[in-house]
A = this chain, B = another copy of it.
Amino acid sequence: MINWKNFDTLASYGKLQSLKGKVCLQEAMAGEAGAARVAKYSAPMAGGLTFNYATREVDDEVIAALAELAAEAQLTEKYEALYSGMVINTGENRLVLHQLCRGQLGIDVINNRVNKREFYVSQQEKAGAFAQKVHAGEITNAAGEKFTTVVQIGIGGSDLGPRAVYLALENWARQNGTLKMEARFISNVDPDDAAAVLKTIDIPHSLFIVVSKSGTTLETLTNETFVRKALAEAGVDPSKHMLAVTSETSPMAQSPDYLEAFFMDDYIGGRYSVSSCVGGAILQLAFGPEVFSRFLAGAAEADALAKEKDITKNASMLDALIGVYERNVQGYPCTAVLPYSQALSRFPAHLQQLDMESNGKSVNRFGEPVDYVTGPIIFGEPGTNGQHSFYQLLHQGKTIVPMQFVGFKENQAGMDADIQGSTSQKKLAANVVAQIMAFACGKKDDNLNKNFDGGRPSSLIIGKQLTPEALGALLAHFENKVMFQGFVWNVNSFDQEGVQLGKILAKKVLAHETDGALKAYSELMEI
């Protein structure tokens, strides 16, 4: 029997509050005791990754309290309910099934007589078969020439996740001979976004994928019309260059305006949709079906690992729980995501949506206000770039920001140079471990301007190389982390009512149905 209780009604809530400031990182990480923590506080992840949390502010006692919380909040049971087809997104009366895009975790989920995993797989395979025909030159433009570029038109979850994953694997694929087509993205309703893409691609050899679950997303439909007009002006028949990714009930589903349509459904939330056809169409066109399968396999392995009840063997659950401790006990408002990999340049932007849109809530799943803080503010840039930017505040600022580092032992592109006795990749890796220790332990200096207090917590996800499997595992790790945190906070991590009011007011502005300040602003902007 699953109980949905507010976090502050649980016994472990009070227990955790009593453990505030329990671990002094400066002491804990010093000397050989620190080395022992590095060895001990490590958990295996999927895709060959490892989660090291030696420099988070935990010890065995805090971890034991977090394990009690996991049990009391029924995290494992709630996860099982989710992947077994319970209506977890209660506000919208929807199941939450994105994990089924990568694997079968429990019982078959049958909904309206459809086996949902079979449905998602069939659509991924349909998109894969289509991609292979494009690559083989069986599907071509009107002149019988191969398509070379694929452009995704989508926004939010239809953009950030697929874009982050494409960028993460673009150079890996180029190096491994599997970059079949170059991908570009149009998302913003700002006409300069679409214009910039259209002016720099070879339109007659480009395919466009319009991604909108409802088929009614303002920005996406606007950009679609914008692009259709440009195609027609370029003498190209838009219906021969456009694909749809949508739900079967959307107006886009059976339209002759598209060469082909691939489907998802309401049980795949936008920000969780990379592993559905939302990512599957463009990623298979760009990299081929095999690479996408490897990406899904990494995610599936992470999803399976998230079933583990022992939190010290369940990296996503443990990461989630430590994050809750940082937010609700230690009182930190933000978390920085810092991948030491240029390929992950847009991964923080994806996590920013994933986390802030899922758990940036003030009411519980029953619509009642909660008296504790929920999801943190997420931001980040790749290292070492961030070191020369905002790390100053992270090291010496007045607000402590927990950090999630990611680092790899090998590069992707197969190019490196030995300079001053070390390769660039070694320098990159040396920087990430140096930063972790500088943040944790600091360094005393009589000149306080050069003094580092330390006590800045972080964790490190370590991989051999950013492969498709590792990337899938990384993505699913954070999806599952956010899901577990939502369970603890007792919020619905799968709706986003906070985006509605702005949409309604924007329509009023465009219809000139405004008064007061909104009218005044509209006049200032000459709308």
* Closest B residue to A350 using CB positions: B389
Interface residues of A in 333-383 (CB under 8 A from B): 333-334, 340-343, 349, 352-353, 356-357, 359-363, 367-370, 372-379, 381-383
Docked pose: A393 CA to B460 CA in angstroms: 26
The interface residues of chain B lying within 8 Å CB-to-CB of A229 are: 417
Instruction: Give 1 or 0 for each of A36-68: 1 = CB within 8 Å of chain B CB.
Output: 011100000000001010100000000000000
Q: A500 interface residue, CB < 8 Å from B?
A: yes
Number of copies of this protein chain within its complex: 2
A334 touches B377 (CB 8 A): yes
The interface residues of chain B lying within 8 Å CB-to-CB of A432 are: 525
**With A30-B516, A363-B448, A374-B397: A391-B510 Cβ-Cβ less than 8 Å:** no
Report the interface size class on chain A: 35 or more
The interface residues of chain B lying within 8 Å CB-to-CB of A171 are: 192, 195-196, 199
A357 is contacted by which of B160, B389, B500 (Cβ under 8 Å)?
B389
Q: A113 interface residue, CB < 8 Å from B?
A: no
Q: A111 interface residue, CB < 8 Å from B?
A: no
* Closest B residue to A449 using CB positions: B367
The interface residues of chain B lying within 8 Å CB-to-CB of A401 are: 377
B367 touches A448 (CB 8 A): yes
**With A427-B218, A448-B367: A226-B195 Cβ-Cβ less than 8 Å:** no
A522 is contacted by which of B362, B433, B443, B525 (Cβ under 8 Å)?
B433
B190 touches A436 (CB 8 A): no
Docked pose: A193 CA to B344 CA in angstroms: 11
Distance (Å) between the CB of A511 and the closest chain B CB? 8
B159 touches A385 (CB 8 A): yes
**With A377-B377, A421-B510, A506-B427: A352-B389 Cβ-Cβ less than 8 Å:** yes
B374 touches A377 (CB 8 A): no
List 3 tightest A-B contacts by C-beta distance, closest first: A360-B393, A156-B388, A34-B517
Given contacts A188-B428, A394-B498, 4 further A-B pairs with CB under 8 A are: A34-B516, A155-B384, A188-B382, A195-B415
29 contacts between A and B (CB under 8 A): A35-B519, A39-B520, A52-B521, A155-B384, A160-B389, A191-B417, A196-B413, A218-B427, A219-B388, A222-B419, A226-B416, A226-B424, A352-B379, A352-B390, A356-B390, A356-B392, A357-B393, A360-B394, A361-B392, A361-B397, A362-B398, A367-B449, A377-B390, A396-B498, A407-B525, A429-B526, A433-B525, A434-B508, A443-B501
